[in-house]
Amino acid sequence: MCLLIILLLLGPRAVIIVWWLLAPLVWDAAFGTLLVPILGFIFLPWTTLVYVLVVPGGIGGLDVLWLVLAVLLDVSSHVGAYGRRRRAVA
């Protein structure tokens, strides 16, 4: 549990790498190909993590809410980084 908390503090990409190394069958069950998790690692890491958490039991009910929140978190981090970059250039 402590390792998970430390990894979450480092960021979602650290969790993805460690989780994929420790439990590759979970990732194989969630995704049919390697391309989707790689793209998720690059562009939508929180959404990728939440998807792997909710997909084994099927997506329904509150799972959709968790996925939407993860997408919003990923999008807000990209928008925030873009806004900081624009202010630094100006």
pLDDT tens for residues 26-35?
Answer: 999 999 899 9
Residues with Cβ within 8 Å of 6's Cβ and at least 6 positions away in sequence, in order, are none
pLDDT band at residue 8 using 50, 70 and 90 as cut-offs: confident
Higher-pLDDT residue of 88, 69? 69
Query: For residue 69, what pLDDT is reported?
Result: 95
Q: Are 37 and 48 in contact (CB under 8 A)?
A: yes
Query: For residue 77, what pLDDT is reported?
Result: 84
Matching residue, tokens 């250039």: 89
Task: Tally the domains of the chain.
Answer: 1
Domain of residue 47: give its range: 2-89
Q: Are 48 and 20 in contact (CB under 8 A)?
A: no
Query: For residue 82, what pLDDT is reported?
Result: 62
> Taking the complete model, does pTM exceed 0.85, yes or no?
no
Query: For residue 83, what pLDDT is reported?
Result: 61
